[in-house]
Amino acid sequence: MSRSPSFSVKPELTIKPDLASLSRWVHSFCIMRFDLEQGQILEESYPPNRLSQEEEIEVSFNSFPDSVSQKQHNRSSIHDCIFFFRFRRDDNNNYLYGYVFNRQRHDERLKRGGEQKSVVILSHAPYSSVFRPLLQIIGPLYFDVGNKAIEHVAGFVSLWPPPVPGKLMELPIGNATLKVNLPPPHSLPLENNGVLYEESASSMAPLLPTNQSVPQGLFHDADLFGVYRGLLLQLWTLWELLLIGEPILIIAPTPPQCSEAVACLVSLVAPLFCSVDFRPYFTIHDPGFARLNSLREGDAFPPMVLGVTNLFFLKALRNMPHVVSVGTPSLNSNRVPFSSRSSAGRLPGGKSSEGLGVQQLSLRRFSPTNLLNAVKLRRDGPLCLMTEHKEAVWTSYAAITKPDTSVLNRLVDAGMSPRVEESMSVVNNEILRRHFLELTTNFLAPFGPYFQVNAPSDGSSPYVAPPPLPSFSADEFLSNLSARGVGKFLSKRMKSNWPDLYRRFLQGPNFVPWFQRRRAVAEQEQRRLWKVARMRTDMRLITSQMNELEAVDSFDAIEKYINEEVKLRESGGGSADSEASFEKLKKDLQAVFSVLPRDMQELLLSNPQRASLLQDPSELQ
């Protein structure tokens, strides 16, 4: 991101926002204030009246760090942090994402020694790569100039072109330009239960993409290595848990750390579309908490990933089967400095810059001292975090995928230099993302034949019904896969009970939405291929080889396509090539008509609408 420190609000450059264009990116901007007597208060909302009363309450409680989680922060004059949350708007799985710039100002001259405010960007889209840098502009600007900063920034956002998922976009904002990669279409929720057209041109998972610079899932910019540095050996277990849709509780000392940890976990399963309900920052005031808290012992938790900071959740949700603790409590910045993160994955002394030393990490892991610590940690359970924060994973799940030591050995440790370490973290993130992208892609590869599309063969009619995609049966799939094997890549990295992982994936919440979506994309692609074939095929060459029955069937099929084109044009949904397609269909109809028996031709011409399509006599010769 390029941002000038002199960014300012100049009245003569203020742009009146176009609200329709603004809504393509932003639902609304909110200014929240924490009042010691009245609690969370919505001070300003732009555009106004965009939120229901219930949504205002939801945004209010999610826009501030939990008071319990703040007890360990050092008191300083100003403390800024950036995090994000997600909440359900209705029963149709529509969500809003809230991106927060929170400022806590400690000043003994103020009532009760300080104040707390948050600038919140609400959006329907999980564009963290856009809204995090935008917060770094609008947050400080608001605290400099007040409410006029909101409308000023909104004016620039309304000038942005529409979002193009999967593309690199340059978005001007005053004298700054945000250069961001948007997540690909296949990682985003469908709009109006339709299929995104762009998906047909995106990487048809499960094929490994050739361009590695293009993001393949949500939150590709999250700091995977930095957040999970102390739990690197557990990443494969966490990948499996999210893959099969197990409920996971992630606890961290601060909202930035817990929201980043949830984002990293969701990004692990790219390019799989994640259907698990994930909440980057979840509080006890969320309506969903009451439902979770009412679950009786033995009741199953719904598939979800909850990021929390309030230690009360450890008691309230004590039956959550998988608990992950990340982060360090001493941090108080919006970006975790790499030199301050847990050193659980370092070489002793942190001196080597050539590798993370996984062999030594593994030896330390199974040393008597660490073994005793692990046993004590497991015995005490997550409630031990009530007295001291530790990075750990509590789960009874036995992972099938083995940690890939060759990947871990490639990770670079830069010692204690924050500047060098931050650049090395970028390298490490790329290594880890590449591996898990390859791991997920290979896991999904056996489903590839069910998305195989077919184009008409040369010399055949493009008006016969295209063959259906192969039918899917879970039992048949598992039986064939067990007999055939999972492939070299996975067989080296998984235990012999790998069919169990596929079985649980098929039964979990991620499979059906992903599979149905990929099938819809494949069917759309097949329709496109057959339409291209219809445009290219010379029907006069094919009709000469048709018998009467084939000619009648082709005439009916072409007429059906013509009627579909007419309806599409009348509804305003026609594309740029609709006219050319319509004219080509008319010519093909006339070509087939020319080989029909005379009595049948006369019968067809008795219909005025049909006769108008056959009015060019030159095509009948």
For 144-178, write each residue's pLDDT tens digit.
999 999 999 999 999 999 999 999 999 999 888 99
Token digits of residue 144: 């400099």
Interval 246-274: pLDDT, tens: 999 999 999 999 999 999 999 999 999 99
The pLDDT value recorded for residue 50 is 92
Considering only CA atoms, which of 101, 114, 130, 132 is closest in space to residue 32?
101
DSSP secondary structure of 298-323: TPPPPSEEEEE--THHHHHTTT-SEE
CB 328 within 8 A of CB 341: yes
Mean pLDDT of the chain: 83
Interval 20-40: pLDDT, tens: 999 999 999 999 998 777 778
d(CA 311, CA 541): 75
**Does residue 208 have a pLDDT over 60?**
no
CB 36 within 8 A of CB 203: no
- The number of domains in the chain is 2
Beta bridge partners of 168: 181
Token digits of residue 329: 């409590």
Q: Which of 182, 209, 230 is the last residue of a domain?
A: 182
Please, what sign has the CA dihedral across residues 390, 394, 398, 401?
negative
The pLDDT value recorded for residue 366 is 47
**Does residue 74 have a pLDDT over 60?**
no
The pLDDT value recorded for residue 416 is 53
- Using H for helix, E for strand and C for coil, what is the string for 26-78? CCEEEEEEEECCCEEEEEEEECCCCCCHHHHHHHHHHCCCCCHHHCCCCCCCE
The pLDDT value recorded for residue 199 is 55
CATH of the domain at 132: 3.30.450.200
The pLDDT value recorded for residue 339 is 33
The pLDDT value recorded for residue 222 is 93
Mean per-residue pLDDT, 591-596: 88
**Does residue 245 have a pLDDT over 70?**
yes
pLDDT band, very low/low/confident/very high, at 200 (cuts 50, 70, 90): very low
**Does residue 236 have a pLDDT over 60?**
yes
Mean per-residue pLDDT, 102-121: 80
Considering only CA atoms, which of 30, 27, 86 is closest in space to residue 60?
30
Report pTM.
Answer: 0.85
Determine how many CB atoms are found less than 10 A away from the CB of residue 83: 28
The pLDDT value recorded for residue 103 is 93
**Does residue 586 have a pLDDT over 70?**
yes
Is 553 among the domain residues?
yes
Beta bridge partners of 173: 176
The pLDDT value recorded for residue 439 is 96
Is 596 among the domain residues?
yes
The pLDDT value recorded for residue 92 is 72
d(CA 194, CA 185): 12
| CB neighbour burial string for 254-291, b if at least 16 within 10 angstroms, e if fewer | bbbbbbbbbbbbbbbbbbbbbbbbbbbbbbeebeebee
**Does residue 499 have a pLDDT over 50?**
yes
Mean per-residue pLDDT, 69-74: 46
DSSP secondary structure of 450-503: GG----PPTTS-TTSPPPPPPP--HHHHHHHHHHH---HHHHTTB-TTHHHHHH
The pLDDT value recorded for residue 29 is 97
CA distances, 338 to each of 56, 102, 262, 333, 421 (Å) = 35, 21, 18, 12, 6
The pLDDT value recorded for residue 1 is 40
Is 193 among the domain residues?
no
**Does residue 459 have a pLDDT over 80?**
no
Is 112 among the domain residues?
yes
d(CA 456, CA 466): 8
| CB neighbour burial string for 408-441, b if at least 16 within 10 angstroms, e if fewer | bebbbbbeeeeeebbebbeebbebbbebbbebbb
The pLDDT value recorded for residue 23 is 95
Is 449 among the domain residues?
no
Residue 94, SS3? coil
Is 18 among the domain residues?
yes
Does 573 or 341 have the greater pLDDT score?
A: 573
Long-range CB pairs of 166-172, under 8 A, 24+ apart, other chains included: 166/198, 166/202, 166/214, 166/215, 171/130
The pLDDT value recorded for residue 207 is 52
Strand (E) or helix (H) holding 123:
strand 114-123
Q: Which of 182, 217, 235 is the last residue of a domain?
A: 182
**Does residue 504 have a pLDDT over 80?**
yes
**Does residue 62 have a pLDDT over 50?**
yes
Q: Which of 182, 197, 221 is the last residue of a domain?
A: 182
Is 587 among the domain residues?
yes
d(CA 550, CA 556): 10
pLDDT band, very low/low/confident/very high, at 324 (cuts 50, 70, 90): very high
Task: Find the helix packing angle between 148-158 and 128-145, rounded to 10°.
Answer: 150
Is 570 among the domain residues?
yes
Range of 100's domain?
11-182
